[in-house]
Structure 1
């Protein structure tokens, strides 16, 4: 680390690259501010005391810059930015407030909440129009110059094809906090996720891709800190380049890189859940921590009166990616995580907010143009949460080519069907076959749909079949927070119960939902712990529960182990058979054109158009013809897939499915969700055309007929 007391020389430096960059001899500092009148670089010693203020006298194209020839990695710094304080005009400069570099790649220290962190005087009758002169530096973390060298060795991206992906949404901290085989000092950290026990479970399941909930640096919200709680989810970004150090056992950035390298070595991709739609600075009454104090009018979307923010995120502000320098900030951040941190893609929180131009969602806007032409970003996985909270923000099915989307229509359609709601059979079939009605119009493929039945926001799978209503009392908001429309069903008792019939039905419903997910066209996404019955005790909004409510519980019951084996077997089945991970949509998901798929009633007759919307209809058979899907392996062997007969019964009573005579012979049992194990049904006698299968109430049965291989 540099001797701050000895630093007294500032050279002109360069406006690029942005941030603090060590070149082996010194450090270049560059920060964008369109409306600033003066920018001071503040240097701090190891105890966090400010020792030097150096004015950046060079400003090139609105980028303020300077070079410290004596500076070294480890140097702690921040900025004080001078300019007008006129909130009514959108300007909130206050040099009494230390502000963090938006391009900082590392931080030292933590944010300690205090009224001095606000640019205005809290409690003043004029609110944010007042001006606070207290120095905030003593309560702020500091940026730290990073030396980014790392030995990646032979690290290679797994580059899993979209149609082969199985995504596992998890939380760095929550995944290992209760893992008995992870060393206690590493639990809840990047290093913990790098350990063999943590990775072995992912490999046991057959997961190809982990999607990590936010790891960009974020503070604990003030109202949570004062209530003794913690922002667990992390959807409130402080810095777009720095990994969150709460998750680093070593407190070093390279620990994140080590985790990525370890997962890649196991053949597992790493996708980051990223939040570029807003920052942690909140609305006009929020703190001044970074971009607000550097140039509020440039970095944020402002309302017409300029004092207030155009908020389509529900978090107080929206990042102004229409501004070329703000768009550059986002793009530079994305490239940094790909090039320097080796991540394999991104899931964009409230992605519609990034598409807005002039307040409207424009999918041909600057952000998408920039991503599409970028030679780094157009080679990684891009997944949108395709909505925000503004007008016209719900955009499921409308994102550009090259993007996948979280498909909440899939979630709701599958939940409602297995819950037993009426009139849902047609919607269920559309979601099961890849949602061609949403993605086929623009030439997109089934892998544009990221399918899920549970995610971090909402009930876990266990709670989905155990609670009719949310139970968020632990959040301290009188159970007012969280969604009320969960499409859940408690199977006859609310929450924990000893009733064996209720418990058996719940386990069956879990298997129904998981089997449907893993046999659907599109990209399946599992929520961490759903493969083993993880519960949040009915909490469907556990954003502030950094405790046993949210953490994965590794103390498994026998039924939990059975469910894990069930999921692993289904993933293996999916991987072995391209019929469940097609690159293209079925020719006609409601007919037999091309004999790719055929839909049948329980009596063996073909489904007519009128049958799909009948209120009482809760049963359908799906025949997939494997000979219409041909693959040739590396040895030149032409392989056709097997045939599959799926029978879905969401009715509470047993239903007889007749196999018509033309179905032929050789149909073997492969899956029956009425059984706890997939192996339990495979010993049953084969079924031939003209025979029948009884599908028990609320169950899914699958028969398969092997076809084998033939010479190319």
Structure 2
């Protein structure tokens, strides 16, 4: 690990995430509780360079690096209070994903360092470096040749929606080349497209394709998270479904799949899981949100904020009462429509997103934002 010696400019507080402009990359990360944020860059050999972000505007820590471009591996370390009893869990020993990462490389190799406490002693703090065991965020080039792509825009009452799993749909299909089976490219193969059109399908509803985690408990049992309802990256297509690579290639492969299905008159609807994340409860790992701003991202129990208010059965619930968390969800939805050209969403446990306090509220802020958004209110929405 080395301290940064790269050229660093102030950059912009918005948009959040890593934004490549053709010459360099702007990095911006939201945190209300951070006292210092380090941008961590990784080279081809895995060596880490840490660059303190000196500029802060409206709780957005930011910098522009003129020398950084697509394919760059990065993450964040957030310095600040570690006081679970007050709902804050900053720990600079943990390398954190960018919540706005457009591409994610790798998976978690489960180790005690992935946790902010010593296993078996939840009141302790574990400051071991998690970098060798966790994901890398990837700077992504935004360009893709969409050609003349147009949304099929099939009226809902005429829609025939086929629920599909990217891997399961093609993994054993004899007409799909073996190297494409179980991938976005496999789903775009002529044999699959012909099968869907022969059935009269007008839309595929893909089970979760946001980057997800294989739970520690499952891995210990020799199992995998097949279904994907354990999101860690709301902007990044799951990297294990890509035939072309997972250092940004998965993004273009997903776009190619959408373009191909659109050419056949088939819409793409995503099953999305915005109600919780893969970080679990107070005994879960620190991979992203928990270490950046635990109180902003998660609903906590009022008088005992070391615990998570869980209406999902997964250990945590996203805090849709916080304006930044609502912004994250809306930014993610808009990104998948405008940049990835998807045609709609099916919301997993949508009732959780509508809980202002305890009960489901049909007049909730989340529903209001959906209805008023000029991008999202035009696509298919299923709850």
TM-score, normalisation: structure 1: 0.52
Distance 1:57 1:81 in 2: 13
Ranges of 4+ aligned residues in structure 1 off by more than 4 Å:
4-7
Shift of 1:53: 0.8
Q: Is 1:98 aligned with 2:95?
A: yes
Equivalent of residue 204 in structure 2, options 210, 223, 229: 210
Which digits, 9 at most, give the CA deviation of each residue in 1:337-379, with x for residues without a partner?
0000000000000000000112221121111111111111011
Distance 1:7 1:76 in 2: 17
In structure 2, relative to structure 1, the CA distance for the partners of 1:184 and 1:59 (3 Å cut) is: same
Shift of 1:324: 0.6
Equivalent of residue 119 in structure 2, options 109, 117, 122: 122
Distance 2:56 2:5 in 1: 21
- DSSP 3-state at the match of 1:175: helix
- DSSP 3-state at the match of 2:211: coil
> Once structures 1 and 2 are overlaid, which stretch shifts more, 38-47 or 328-337?
38-47
Distance 1:360 1:12 in 2: 44
In the alignment, which residue of structure 1 is the partner of 2:157?
163
Query: Where does 1:240-279 land on structure 2 (aligned, <5 Å)?
Result: 240-251=234-245, 252=249, 253-279=251-277
Greater Rg, structure 1 or structure 2?
Answer: 1
Shift of 1:186: 0.4
Q: Is 1:67 aligned with 2:64?
A: yes
In the alignment, which residue of structure 2 is the partner of 1:54?
51
- DSSP 3-state at the match of 1:276: coil
Shift of 1:7: 5.6
In the alignment, which residue of structure 2 is the partner of 1:221?
215
Distance 2:32 2:300 in 1: 15
Shift of 1:239: 0.2
Shift of 1:109: 2.4
Query: Where does 1:392-407 land on structure 2 (aligned, <5 Å)?
Result: none
- Unaligned stretches of 5+ in structure 1? 385-712
CA contact (8 A) 2:3 2:50 kept: no
In the alignment, which residue of structure 2 is the partner of 1:319?
318
Distance 1:119 1:49 in 2: 23
Shift of 1:5: 10
Shift of 1:70: 1.2
CA contact (8 A) 2:4 2:50 kept: no
Shift of 1:219: 1.3
Distance 1:139 1:340 in 2: 30
Distance 1:267 1:6 in 2: 50
In the alignment, which residue of structure 2 is the partner of 1:365?
364
In the alignment, which residue of structure 1 is the partner of 2:107?
110
In the alignment, which residue of structure 2 is the partner of 1:328?
327
In the alignment, which residue of structure 1 is the partner of 2:225?
231
Shift of 1:261: 0.5
- Unaligned stretches of 5+ in structure 2? none
Which gives a bigger RCO, structure 1 or 2 (Cα 8 Å, sep 6+)? 2
Query: Where does 1:319-468 land on structure 2 (aligned, <5 Å)?
Result: 319-384=318-383
In the alignment, which residue of structure 1 is the partner of 2:11?
13
Distance 1:156 1:10 in 2: 40
Which digits, 9 at most, give the CA deviation of each residue in 1:228-287, with x for residues without a partner?
111000000010000001100002110000000111011000000000000000000000
Distance 1:131 1:5 in 2: 24
Q: Is 1:176 aligned with 2:170?
A: yes
- DSSP 3-state at the match of 1:54: strand
Q: Is 1:138 aligned with 2:132?
A: yes
In the alignment, which residue of structure 2 is the partner of 1:640?
none
In the alignment, which residue of structure 2 is the partner of 1:195?
189
Distance 2:83 2:114 in 1: 18
TM-score, normalisation: structure 2: 0.97
- DSSP 3-state at the match of 2:11: coil
Distance 1:349 1:8 in 2: 43
Query: Where does 1:649-688 land on structure 2 (aligned, <5 Å)?
Result: none
CA contact (8 A) 1:7 1:70 kept: no
Equivalent of residue 29 in structure 2, options 28, 31, 34: 31
Query: Where does 1:522-561 land on structure 2 (aligned, <5 Å)?
Result: none
Distance 1:6 1:84 in 2: 24
Q: CA RMSD in A?
A: 1.2
> Once structures 1 and 2 are overlaid, which stretch shifts more, 276-285 or 245-254?
245-254
Distance 1:342 1:381 in 2: 12
**What is the count of residue pairs matched by the alignment?**
377
In the alignment, which residue of structure 2 is the partner of 1:310?
309
